[in-house]
Amino acid sequence: MRVKGFAALYAAATLFAFVSLSVKLASRSFAGYFVSGMRFAMGVALCLGVLFWRYRDLRMVKPHWVILRGLTGAVSMVASYMAISLTGPGRATLLANTYPLFVAIFSALLFGERLRPRTLVSVIVCTAGAALVMKDGSGASLSGDLLALASAVFAGFAVNFVRKASSAGDNPFILYLSPCVFGLPVLAFAPAPTGAPDALSIAFLVFVGVGSFAAQALMSVGYRSVPANRGSVVFYWETALTVLLGIAFAGEEPNLRFLSGVAVILAGLWLNSEWSLKRRDKASPAGDPRDAAGGPGV
């Protein structure tokens, strides 16, 4: 069951990487606030469509977790999109995806989740890789960097609330509807395009909404069986892939320090992988009884 959870999280991370690239490409015709607002609007429409068509139910199992997820998630999403529009998809996503450090800290401080030594090492390694990229000498926008880091802090809260609500049985589409509803007012303050946008920019804008919807649903499903402080490290894969996409399609120029950081991030990912844990378990057939329990709150 946990392997399927990790698979869902990796699929979500891959989709988010393509969404980040699409945000940057769409921002050539649309302001960051407008892209954020349209994502929320499409998210509300898609979530309500699925909930009424398939589930015919809008009830929340744990309303307080759903509401907190919505508030913190909306702030994180807006900050992330603004950062991407100010800098680039690779750099902004990399900084925003330092959030596993905050997930681990908040899950331990607020919810008493056990912090596995392997997960802590993985977070440290991945964060070291992120630091290498941050110090690549690119002279990127300070406001963009700060917004990306703010996104990481709020995402640290939001992922824990997703975990709590998902494990209680809240529908993943309810969990994505919540930040979309709280973020929808952004659209009222977003500047409309000054000129007629081209068809390609509109296509990227639509993909931002649809891709985010699919990725958020997969993320919520994954966190039903994967502890938040382990699952969150998976999303360093999103960072590495977004960096590669930014180089290939958004004009981001890597240097040796930048590429070294990506390599370190991938090494940290492996440390947290289910495959790595299975190799350890095969070496010791009895395993660790705590692994079967999955930790508190699972």
For the chain, what percent of residues have pLDDT higher than 90? 33
With contact defined as beta carbons under 8 Å apart, do 167 and 113 qualify?
no
Alpha-carbon torsion, ordered 292, 293, 295, 298, to 10 deg: 110
With contact defined as beta carbons under 8 Å apart, do 19 and 245 qualify?
no
Q: How far apart are CA 192 and CA 196, in angstroms?
A: 10
Q: How far apart are CA 196 and CA 207, in angstroms?
A: 19
What is the domain partition of the chain in residue ranges? 2-189+198-289
Which pair of structure tokens corresponds to residue 147? Answer: 């917004």
pLDDT confidence of residue 22: 94
Q: What pLDDT digit, counting tens, does each position of 111-146 carry?
A: 887 777 887 888 888 888 878 877 777 666 778 888
Q: How far apart are CA 194 and CA 200, in angstroms?
A: 16
Residues 207-226, mean pLDDT to the nearest whole number:
87
Q: How far apart are CA 297 and CA 10, in angstroms?
A: 22
With contact defined as beta carbons under 8 Å apart, do 172 and 61 qualify?
no
pLDDT confidence of residue 122: 82
With contact defined as beta carbons under 8 Å apart, do 138 and 285 qualify?
no
Which pair of structure tokens corresponds to residue 67? Answer: 């509401």
Q: What pLDDT digit, counting tens, does each position of 247-294 carry?
A: 888 877 777 887 888 788 878 877 776 544 454 444 433 333 222 222
